Amino acid sequence: MKLASRAEKLKPSATLLITAKAKALRAEGIDVIGFGAGEPDFDTPENIKDIAVSAINDGFTKYTAVGGIDELKEAIIASLSEDYGLDYDKSEIIVSCGAKHTLYNLTQVIIEEGDEVIIPAPYWVSYPAQVSLAGGKPVIIETTEESGFKIEPDELKEKINQKTKVLILNYPSNPTGATYSEDDLNIIAEIAIDSGLIIISDEIYHKILYDGITHTPIATLGDDVKNSTILVNGVSKTYSMTGWRIGYSAGDKAVTSAMSKLQGQSTSNPVSISQMAAVEALMGSQDDVSKMVREFEERKNYITKRLNEVPDVRCFSPQGAFYVFPNISRFFGKGYDGKEIENSVDFTEFLLEEAKVAVIPGIEFGSDDHVRISYAVSMEDIKKGIDRIEEAVEKLE
């Protein structure tokens, strides 16, 4: 059958290839350590699950308002106000089927054919894909560990032209774990506002921060910035609720209303039961969040230290999220078994074959010098996995 050109824009992912290979190895009975996970390994907290069970038993199992129930919108407003002093009206909030869906709706309603969208790399894989699907042109700004994986103001200015409509920010970042300070954001905001850009601010890892670092949403930096920003968040990462599919945005009323119309003609409301659970996540005890973050921080400290001790690996120390993004480019040109490693996909295949460790090649995130390792796995597996990586790279020559 002849596909629409829209469908042809969708690229197959290198990650799927690696995941399939890892699966095949596991089927052979080989114990593969999986560092690919993009979700917390903890169970959803008990209080949240209990509310969901009650919602089912109480028959809260029908369609709801398209953009989410009032209780959840109120909980989102309350949490943004309590955490950050941000003030939103219900008409500025929409709940969708995960933050990925929020971003999809958002890109569909604000990006037109030919609009340029600035995306700092390394980026979350779905940004360029969603921008392209909306007919926009992703304009990538490369960043490296030298600048802490942050965009340089001058480079941002250079990329902006008449066609630039949107700047996408993600802090703390997947895949680098880097985040922006208030000072960094002030500089970026000023440039974006001067050029009349819309800022999409993906803050899904806002609570997963280390070393006493605090999170500042860019929307807190003044009314102008707030009016130009759509803040995107969700419960997936903070509350270990990836499967529940609840994401949301806060921002411009007209944009929110357009997203709601699109959602009304596509998915309708997010799952009723999950919405009730999300109210509890936001309003109930936050003790489990602190516990999870403390555990992540221990793993982060361990994995960063260990990786930096591996010869020829350089690993930026993340400030948030649950990934490390080590630079493995010093292995390029080296080989094993007659095969030469030339890029992040080759290195990923090498690790899978020789170390029985699965990671994600950096090229997926727009940087071929790196691989992404998720530490949303047990400390025991982290130790075993890093031991194996250390041993395997010794074979490279």
Ligand X SMILES: *Cc1c(COP(=O)(O)O)cnc(C)c1O
- Cβ neighbours of 98 (radius 10 Å): 22
Number of chain positions touching ligand X (CB under 6 A): 14
Instruction: Decide the pairing of beta strands 360-361 and 323-324.
Output: unpaired
φ, ψ for residue 124 (rounded to 5)? Answer: -70, 135
Q: Which listed range, 97-105, 207-215, 219-227, 307-315, lies at the site for ligand X (CB under 6 A)?
A: 97-105
Q: Which listed range, 98-106, 130-138, 182-190, 347-355, lies at the site for ligand X (CB under 6 A)?
A: 98-106
Cβ proximity of 113 and 161 under 8 Å: no
Nearer to ligand X, 202 or 280 (CB): 202
Which of 45, 234, 270, 361 binds ligand X (CB under 6 A)? It is 234
Residue 187 exposed, middle or buried by CB count within 10 Å (0-12, 13-18, 19+) = middle
| Shortest Cβ 174–ligand X spacing (Å) | 4
Which of 45, 68, 120, 247 binds ligand X (CB under 6 A)? It is 247
Nearer to ligand X, 175 or 326 (CB): 175
Q: Does 346 bind ligand X (CB under 6 A)?
A: no
Report the distance separating Cα 248 and Cα 204, nearest Å: 10
Which residues in 21-60 contact ligand X (CB under 6 A)?
38
| Shortest Cβ 267–ligand X spacing (Å) | 12
What tokens does 127 get? 């940004």
Which of 92, 202, 295, 368 binds ligand X (CB under 6 A)? It is 202
Q: Does 99 bind ligand X (CB under 6 A)?
A: yes
Report the distance separating Cα 44 and Cα 47, nearest Å: 9
Which of 80, 156, 204, 358 binds ligand X (CB under 6 A)? It is 204
Q: Does 124 bind ligand X (CB under 6 A)?
A: yes
- 309 CB-side CA count, 13 A: 11
Which of 15, 174, 229, 256 binds ligand X (CB under 6 A)? It is 174
Report the distance separating Cα 386 and Cα 397, nearest Å: 19
| Shortest Cβ 360–ligand X spacing (Å) | 12
Which of 36, 67, 68, 98 binds ligand X (CB under 6 A)? It is 98
Contact partners, residue 224, CB within 8 Å, separation at least 6: 193
- Cβ neighbours of 24 (radius 10 Å): 11
Contact partners, residue 133, CB within 8 Å, separation at least 6: 6, 9, 10, 104, 107, 108
What tokens does 208 get? 């997963």
| Shortest Cβ 173–ligand X spacing (Å) | 7
φ, ψ for residue 264 (rounded to 5)? Answer: -65, -25
Write out the H or E segment, with its range, that includes residue 335: strand 335-336
Q: Which listed range, 236-244, 277-285, 290-298, 301-309, lies at the site for ligand X (CB under 6 A)?
A: 236-244
| Shortest Cβ 175–ligand X spacing (Å) | 8
Nearer to ligand X, 38 or 136 (CB): 38
Q: Note the residues at the interface with ligand X (CB under 6 A).
A: 38, 98-100, 124, 170, 174, 202, 204, 234, 236-237, 242, 247
